[in-house]
Amino acid sequence: MIKEIPYNEYIKEVHSQLIRGVFLTTKAGDRINTMVIGWGGLTFFWNRPIFLVPVRKSRYTHELLEKSGEFTVSIPMGRDMQKALSFCGTKSGRDYDKFKECKLTAVPGRYVDVPVIGECNLHYECRVVYKQDMDPATLNEEINQRFYPNYHTFYYGEILGCYLTE
């Protein structure tokens, strides 16, 4: 069963799970990959709901996202998916089929040509409306020293659909 919900109905739960990791999935052609993000968030820009996701340029997901311009975020609210989160957060989709390795179900998206993860129960489907590469020259020095030298591209995805699944 699918229940459409407002994008911000579970904002506290999204923030709480984001710190522990959520699945960011994208697809280009027949290549699908999911990775784990622990940063990002829900916001509102240009009169539309936005899911902001940072992806390092070195990631396989970055390569696919640059081609597709679409992504989904699947959140395992109240579900123990730590093993899958750990695997998908440490292994590259260039080397592994993460869906096969973690027995994840790629459920076709409803609004974009990118699947959601069937084992999760909260999903956001997004189309990139803006992206910005980080400029190290404008970054706080303490943050720069602590988290980099591999910089992110920030993708602002308009939330086209947000829903719960059982």
In a domain, 165, yes or no: no
In a domain, 166, yes or no: no
What is the CATH classification number for the domain harbouring 148?
2.30.110.10
pLDDT at residue 91 tops 90: no
In a domain, 14, yes or no: yes
In a domain, 42, yes or no: yes
pLDDT at residue 54 tops 90: yes
CA distance 112 to 118: 15
In a domain, 77, yes or no: yes
Can you give the C-alpha Rg of the chain in angstroms?
15
Structural domain of residue 143, as residue ranges? Answer: 2-160
Number of domains in the chain: 1
- In sequence order, which residues have a C-beta less than 8 Å from that of residue 19 and are 6 or more positions away? 38
What is the per-residue pLDDT for 67? 97
State pTM to two decimals: 0.94
Tens digits of residue pLDDT in 1-23: 999 999 999 999 999 999 999 99
The CB-side HSE value for 65 (13 A sphere, CA atoms) comes to 32
DSSP 64: H
What is the per-residue pLDDT for 79? 77
What is the per-residue pLDDT for 144? 92
pLDDT at residue 61 tops 90: yes
Tens digits of residue pLDDT in 99-154: 999 999 999 999 999 999 999 999 999 999 999 999 999 999 999 999 888 899 99
Q: How far is CA 41 from CA 44, 98, 121, 138, in A?
A: 10, 24, 17, 21
Average pLDDT of the segment spanning 59-74:
96
